[in-house]
Homo-oligomer: A and B are copies of this chain.
Amino acid sequence: MLPIVLHNYFRSSTSYRVRIALAMKGLSFTYVARHIRRGGNRMPDYLAMNPQGLVPTMVWPDGTVLGQSLAIIEFIDEMRPNPPLLPADPFGRARVRMLAQMIACDVHPVNNFRILDALRERFAADDAAVADWFGTWVKTTFEPLETILSSSAESGTFCHGDTPGLADICLVAQVVNNRRYDIDMSPYPVICGIVEECLKLSAFIDAHPTNQPDAE
């Protein structure tokens, strides 16, 4: 059987999400580095697989090619159900997807490289303006996320109960990204506690940006 192949970039938080999911499932994969600051994601062979030119792209052993990290992770979870990345009950699944989407739809997309680059190019945003932009959208979502996690009976050691899953994956990838922008995390003690627990786990450590072959 062919290996799973993951085209990705060490620093990309969407790549980090998928690496964690693969590691949690105990799935090994071939790591193909696509350096998004040097056009690795704009090469013709890559665009043929992923016309968006975004990382990550996963190629499953049967040749199935998928983009979009959350779609990839749910696919992995369906193909290899143990350990599950989503709860067994519909409300639990919805809550975990909601928490994941708070990060994946409301923080990451507005703070990724192409948006920050566009702010510099179109509006002459300087480093301070870019950092403030990044921090604003983290705060706008992390405040309500902290509220939900600290007030909900479903929260546990992790975002949902005492086993890590999809929401934790997205949360950790974002928090690791936040550190590059020196975001003050002190207003978010519950989030920080969950992230600390996650980062004790080998899947989160092995998949961490600093532990990848293309890390700089």
Contact = CB atoms under 8 A, between A and B. Distances in A.
B71 A97 contact: yes
A148 B53 CA distance: 12
Contacts of A123: 119, 122-123, 125, 129
Contact of A105 (B68, B95, B118, B133): B68
Contacts of A98: 66-68, 71-72
Interface residues of A, number: 49
The number of times this chain is found in the oligomer is 2
A41 to B, nearest CB: 12
Interface of A: 50-54, 64, 66-68, 70-72, 74-75, 78-79, 90-91, 93-95, 97-98, 101-102, 104-106, 108-110, 114-115, 118-119, 122-123, 125, 129, 132-133, 136, 140-141, 143-145, 147-148
